[in-house]
Amino acid sequence: MRNPWIPRLAASALVFAAATAFADASSPTWIDAEPFATLPDGVRYPEGITVNPATGDLFVGTFDSDLAHGNKLLRIARNGRVAAQKDFGHSALLGLAFADGKVYILNFGASKLQRIAASFGASTPVEDVAAIPSIGAPTARSVANPDGSSDTISFGSSGFAGPNGMVFDHEGNLYISDSFQGAIYKVAHATTCSPCAITVTAHDPMLATAGFPPFGANGLALSADETTLFVANTGDSRVLKMNLATSAIEVFAESLHGADGLLYDNGRLWVATNQADEVVALNSNGRIVARAGEFEGIARDGSPRGLLFPASMAIAGGWMYVTNLALPLTPALGDEPEEDVTRWNVARFHLPR
């Protein structure tokens, strides 16, 4: 569960970091989020999001483990109305990406990469592109302590792959994160192969976690020159950076509470911090230069106001669109605002210049 003090302490740390980052700027950037689209009744927990830049259509997938509700892939028009739904049954969906007229889907429940035509309807077939391999846990991680001692963290694995985030490069190669096996995969020329081969780019203890929420490697983003892959480690509240030429991994930014989805834009790395109910922008040094949204309560229709457990982002027309996952992480104890949500939505905010 969320420790009620942790978000406050994290928020205080972010305020301090933001104030420091803005020491060289004319003024800090604080951005309010507003509701954009409400999901249909009974469709819950929007997680992945991507956009067709030609049409402005948004695509949203859900992460619902309740078999009574099931999971959907939604197409949302630029006016915020749901234009199409595709039923995925009990298979939860995580990362989404758009390329060459198709929506790419990380089917978490089936441990598969799939794709579907962007103009899909309820009966449009879904194509299996690649199966995510079972490779087990990475090696143990040694963590240094201030007194000169060290601790060793060992990771177990059920062998179940946990595909979560993905990003395309300009050549159509696709990088995929595995939250449970601590890995990054590459699918070469993913837009043209069928079926596609998957290679392991990294299998590293830095990509695993013993923290909470219990997801390691998560959101992915590429630097402008595509030499660096940024990786969110949700349970460790970190963003990592990996040199794609050497696969060397190091910490880029710390104390980003529940770092989830990533998006690189105009020299800034945007991070959805799902346990702080914010989206923050980092500069090239990993310092916070903008903060967007906060949880502002529950609206009359039962949907979140502002941001609540933001998971993923997409950009269209000068707006950043954010899925409000609003997922309770503990049994119903009445201690999480997510328990009060009865309708789920996508929020948005204006991108700063």
Which strand (E) or helix (H) includes residue 339? Answer: none
Name the H helices within 96-182.
none
Q: Give the integer Cα–Cα distance in Å for 121 and 6.
A: 43
Quick one: tokens of 288? 């916070």
The residue with tokens 């159509």 is 172
- Cβ neighbors of 257 (< 8 A, separation 6 or more) are 6, 7, 10, 237, 273, 274, 275, 276
- Chain centre to alpha carbon of residue 150: 31
Q: How much is the pLDDT for 19?
A: 36
Handedness of CA 200, 112, 262, 298 (dihedral sign): negative
Q: Is the dihedral of CA 104, 107, 113, 116 positive or negative?
A: negative
Q: What is the pLDDT along the chain (353 residues), one digit of tens a residue?
A: 444 334 333 443 433 343 333 334 444 489 999 999 999 999 999 999 999 999 999 999 999 988 778 999 999 999 999 999 999 999 999 999 999 999 999 999 999 999 999 999 999 999 999 999 999 999 999 999 999 999 999 998 888 999 999 999 999 999 999 999 999 999 999 999 989 999 999 999 999 999 999 999 999 999 999 999 999 999 999 999 999 999 999 999 999 999 999 999 999 999 999 999 999 999 999 999 999 999 999 999 999 999 999 999 999 999 999 999 999 988 777 789 999 999 999 999 999 87
pLDDT of residue 345: 98
Alpha carbon distance 246, 229 (integer Å): 11
CA–CA dist 183, 157 (Å, integer): 12
* Domains located in the chain, CATH noted: 5-133+161-347 (2.120.10.30)
Which pLDDT score, from 0 to 100, does residue 157 have?
Answer: 82
Measure the CA–CA gap between 124 and 36, rounded to whole angstroms: 26
Residue 27: predicted pLDDT:
46
